[in-house]
Amino acid sequence: MIDLGPPNYFLDIFVTRTSSWMFMYQKKYASEIIERADLVGCNSSRTPIATSTKITVSGHPVKDPTLYRSLAGALHYLAFTGPNISYVVQQIYLSMHDPREPHMASLE
């Protein structure tokens, strides 16, 4: 075995470390997800989703459920270092079996 030293970048997670704390972040990975979803020019929101309303199950099926599932999986991985999005990711995961247009709109 070889000691590679302290972690710096591993599995799309950057690690910054001092003697008293360790900070992990996935800014590059989040940027890649935004590019894959074609949302580079969109504005950010303080609250990613309203917690009082539920996403409707009506609507047309999405044209490419693979894209929906891929983006949802990427967000699930991103939630490891960003627990503030875990509720949103959980709501997206509820419709993985049959994603509809309103689900895709909430994902975007």
d(CA 39, CA 2): 41
pLDDT per position as a tens digit, 81-90: 777 777 777 7
SS3 at position 107: helix
| Interior/surface letters 19-33, b for 16+ CB within 10 angstroms, e for the rest | eeeeeeebeebbeeb
With cut-offs at 50, 70 and 90, classify the pLDDT of residue 12: confident
d(CA 33, CA 58): 26
In this prediction, residue 22 carries a pLDDT of: 85
**Residue 60, C-beta contacts closer than 8 angstroms, at least 6 positions apart:** 100, 101
In this prediction, residue 19 carries a pLDDT of: 87
d(CA 50, CA 107): 13
pLDDT per position as a tens digit, 23-82: 888 888 888 888 888 878 877 766 666 666 666 667 788 888 888 888 888 888 888 777
Which has the higher per-residue pLDDT, 74 or 106?
Answer: 74
pTM score:
0.63
Torsion on CA atoms 60, 40, 81, 49, rounded to nearest 10: -40
Mean pLDDT (whole number) for 8-17: 82
Mean pLDDT (whole number) for 3-11: 79
